[in-house]
Amino acid sequence: MNTDFYIAVPKGSHTTWKDKAEKWLQYVAKEWSRFQINNELSQLNDLKIGETLRLNASLYDCLLRANDYHLRTNGVFSPYLKLQLEQHGYNQSFPFKMAKNSDFQVNLISGKPLQFLGNQQVMKVAHQEIDLGGFAKGYSIERLADWLEEEIAPDYGLVDGGGDMKMWSNSEKNWTIGVADAREVEREISTIKIKTGAVATSNRIYRSWQQGTTMKHHLLNGCTGSVANTDVIQATVVTSSLCDAEVGAKLCFLLDEVEQQRWFLENHQRSARFIVKEGEEGFWTVTEVRKC
């Protein structure tokens, strides 16, 4: 995942959690990365149409959840953009600044590339390949945080993976989270005070590169396969689920403000997002429906 992780639990918590946490994160980084060969994800991407594969239970669950968001966003969020990312020049791990022009064209195929058969089995039904990207990181952090809360540290704790984090508290512990500037990461531009919830941030500055004479970044529209054309440079979403926050942060680049508000009202009625646009100060938008 090319990410530093920070985990906070109360002093005196049983220390055996460290080995299990490291093994889980190493497994995800190795087996779910599109940059590794001969791993679980590559086996899935190498399937021919009509072939089936039984996956590890965790990968199957992660894919199933990512596919659910794909359906709920009408395809705007998509885990099926590996070939399109490579066509745009994102075919190596960051950091890099320049990418060669692609000599092949990829057509985006509508419909579901995978059919989920149950019992951890999937069948490939269309020629699209998978890149779980930041969603896999969010999913792995959330799974680890849920396990730590249930088994190790029920009072409070936090798991932070490169600024995407899940935290919990029994109401005595309060967390103060800084929001970093997209260009000057040592400078905070806002803060979040929270007890229990999740925070995800996406920006188009760090994972950006030049392909030929065109600047590109990693946030693609799942309906078109094109790089998002937006004046948003960074989005931070706060909600109860880190997977929800990961998807929500990406949608801030892909939907206009009216569409964003509709999405959050329909899907996350208690959430907040901090948006930074080119040449503007960041601003908060809170979505909360109060029952009378």
Please determine, for residue 25, whether its predicted confidence score (pLDDT) is greater than 60.
Answer: yes
Of 199, 182, 211, the C-alpha closest to 278 is 182
Q: Is residue 121 part of a domain?
A: yes
CA dihedral 125, 126, 130, 135 (to 10 degrees): -70
Give yes or no: residues 227 and 166 share one domain: yes
Residues 134-139 have a mean pLDDT of 97
Structure confidence at residue 68 (pLDDT): 96
- E strand spans, 80-137: 98-99, 114-118, 121-124
pLDDT tens-digit readout, 198-233: 999 999 999 999 999 999 999 999 999 999 999 999
Contact 151, 157 (CB under 8 A): no
Q: Is 36 contained in some domain?
A: yes
d(CA 177, CA 214): 35
138 domain-assigned: no
- Is 142 inside any structural domain? no
Structural domain range at position 47: 5-103+111-133
Q: Is the pLDDT of residue 83 over 60?
A: yes
Q: Is residue 128 located within the same domain as residue 75?
A: yes
What one-character DSSP code corresponds to residue 185?
Answer: T
3-state secondary structure of 69: helix
Give 112's pLDDT tier (boundaries 50, 70, 90): confident
Domain count, the chain: 2
- 59 and 178 share a domain? no
User: Would 11 be classed as within a structural domain?
Assistant: yes
Tokens 């992780």 found at: 5
pLDDT at 102: 80
Mean per-residue pLDDT, 65-94? 95
Q: What is the pLDDT of residues 36-76, one digit of tens each?
A: 999 999 999 999 999 999 999 999 999 999 999 999 999 99
Average pLDDT, the chain: 93
Q: In sequence order, what are the residues at sequence separation of 6 or more whose Cβ sits closer than 8 angstroms to the Cβ of residue 291?
A: none
- Residues 185 and 278 both lie in one domain: yes
pLDDT at 289: 59
Asked whether residue 292 carries a pLDDT value surpassing 60, the answer given is: no
CATH number for the domain including 208?
3.10.520.10
Whether 177 is covered by a domain: the verdict is yes
What is the rounded distance in angstroms from the CA atom of residue 8 to the CA atom of residue 192? 17
User: Could you tell me what percent of the chain has a pLDDT over 90?
Assistant: 86
Q: Are 138 and 26 in contact (CB under 8 A)?
A: no
The closest alpha carbon to 91, from 78, 82, 103, belongs to 82
Q: Do 183 and 118 share a structural domain? A: no
Q: Which residue has the higher pLDDT, 237 or 2?
A: 237
Confidence label for 290 from pLDDT (cuts 50, 70 and 90): low
**Does the pLDDT at position 15 exceed 80?**
no
Q: Is residue 219 in some structural domain? A: yes
pLDDT at 17 over 70: yes
Q: Are residues 17 and 128 in the same domain?
A: yes
Is 150 part of any domain? no
pLDDT at 291: 56
> Which pLDDT belongs to residue 64?
97
Q: What strand order describes the sheet that includes 156-161? A: 5-8, 156-161, 164-169, 197-203, 232-239, 270-277, 283-288
pTM of the model: 0.94
pLDDT confidence of residue 151: 92
Q: What is the pLDDT of residue 118?
A: 95
